[in-house]
Structures are given as C-alpha cells and as structure tokens.
Amino acid sequence: MNIFNKLVETQEIKFPDGCDPQFKDLIQKMTFKNPNERITLFEIMEHPYITKNGQFPIEKLDPTVHTIIVTKEDIENAITMKRLEVNFFAVSKMSAKFAKQRTKREEISERKI
C-alpha cells in the first residue's frame, strides 16, 4: 500500500475556515477511505469546482474518436503519487500550524477581555 492511501485511510483532512465548499467537497470525494467509493476521473471532470458550476465544462473525450497527444512537458508537469504525497504532507503541516496559531490568537484575545 502506498503512503497516500495509508494517509487517506488513517488521517482526517482538516480544511481551513473559509475554504471553498466545492473544493472541500471535491477533495473529500477524492479521498474516501474506501478507494472503490472515490470519485472517478470523469466525475472529477464534471465536478462544479472544476467546471465553475458548469460555466466551463470540460469536453468529454471519446477514445475511439479523439487522439490525445502527450508532450514531454505534460509528463514533466504531471501529478504523480509522489507529488500528491509531498503536497498532502505540506497541507497537513500547514493545517496544524494554522490551528496552533489560531489557538494562540484565541488565548491572547481571551486574556485581553
């Protein structure tokens, strides 16, 4: 089992206050504990966060009609599991840091009252 799946199964994703609800919904659907229940790529392409509530729909590709050309640049910029794992760790650390800072601000605010 890779690190990403282990993290998803054992950790709760904490979103900062004011987080876009559609973004939160998308990430939650992408990280369901059971991989078989996670949102599919085609569902991601239709998600309101990706399409800006349908304003910018992504054309569905028919593999029998369309040819997809992948460039070297596409490969270099592709999202890999390693990048997802690194980003997941970074977001987790930032979330914990923000929570500590918020707690400190609340404690200071309570002392002033």
Whether residues 59 and 78 share a domain: the answer is: no
Residue pLDDT, tens place only, 1-49: 567 677 778 888 888 889 899 999 999 999 888 888 999 888 888 999 9
Whether residues 78 and 111 share a domain: the answer is: yes
Whether residues 62 and 74 share a domain: the answer is: no
Q: Is residue 9 part of a domain?
A: no
Whether residues 57 and 74 share a domain: the answer is: no
CB proximity list for 15: less than 8 A, separation 6 or greater = 24, 27, 95
- Number of compact structural domains in the chain: 2
Whether residues 74 and 60 share a domain: the answer is: no
Q: Are 15 and 92 in contact (CB under 8 A)?
A: no
Whether residues 85 and 42 share a domain: the answer is: no
Residue pLDDT, tens place only, 44-91: 889 999 999 989 888 776 666 666 788 888 877 776 666 666 667 677
Whether residues 63 and 81 share a domain: the answer is: no
Whether residues 38 and 78 share a domain: the answer is: no
Q: Is residue 6 part of a domain?
A: no
Domain that holds residue 95: 69-113
CB proximity list for 96: less than 8 A, separation 6 or greater = none
Whether residues 24 and 37 share a domain: the answer is: yes
